[in-house]
Amino acid sequence: MAIIFTHNYPGEINIQDGIMLLQPVAAGVNIVAGQLLCYNASKYLLPASDTAGLSRVIGIAVGNANNTNGSDGDVSVNIVVDCMMYVDCSGLSQANVDEIVYVSDEYTVVATSTNKIVAGLLQSVDVANNKALVKQIIES
């Protein structure tokens, strides 16, 4: 399983392991490398958010894809799945380790949220720097 570094980290995105897939992007969406990604109801990618109807986090973008003026699937983006994600966090502590964490936005995970969009399983947390290592959950 790869460790993937999202935005603002040394080395940017490390894809030595894991699985890279080319996936179609939702209409009207701009994806930036390092963003956590979810599927919408039609199974097109968009940046993760605490929005009803989105899937669990599918993976992390390893490239940019601008489909702001396109239809569903006009543009595709490379993503990495089956990975560990080093991401921003808010409100997490050591007590949250080995618990499911949820999406706050395309870069941040939290212990609870309104719509419970699963980011993964918290492996470790750096409370001082608001960073978390999250294991992606492959099964639904």
Residues 42 and 54 in one domain: yes
6-25: per-residue pLDDT in tens? 555 444 444 446 788 999 99
Residues 38 and 69 in one domain: yes
Q: How many domains does the chain have?
A: 2
Residues 69 and 47 in one domain: yes
8: in domain: yes
Residue 60, pLDDT > 60, answer yes
Residues 53 and 114 in one domain: no
> Which of these three, 58, 81, 104, is where a domain ends?
81
Residues 12 and 52 in one domain: yes
CATH of the domain at 21: 2.40.300
How many angstroms separate the CA atoms of 125 and 41, rounded?
31
SS3 of residue 9 by DSSP:
coil
Average pLDDT of 84-112?
A: 95
140: in domain: no
89: in domain: yes
pLDDT at 6: 55
Nearest residue to 19 (alpha-carbon basis) of 103, 83, 87: 83
pLDDT at 19: 87
How many degrees, rounded to 5, is the angle at CA 116 between CA 95 and CA 39?
125
Q: What is the reported pTM?
A: 0.88
Give the range among 19-28, 83-92, 95-104 with minimum mean pLDDT.
83-92
What residue numbers bound the domain in which 114 lies? 84-135
Give the range among 2-6, 25-29, 55-59, 98-102 with minimum mean pLDDT.
2-6
How many angstroms separate the CA atoms of 5 and 67, rounded?
24
Average pLDDT, the chain: 89
Residues 95 and 77 in one domain: no
Residues 64 and 113 in one domain: no
> Which of these three, 81, 99, 126, is where a domain ends?
81
How many degrees, rounded to 5, is the angle at CA 15 between CA 13 and CA 16?
135
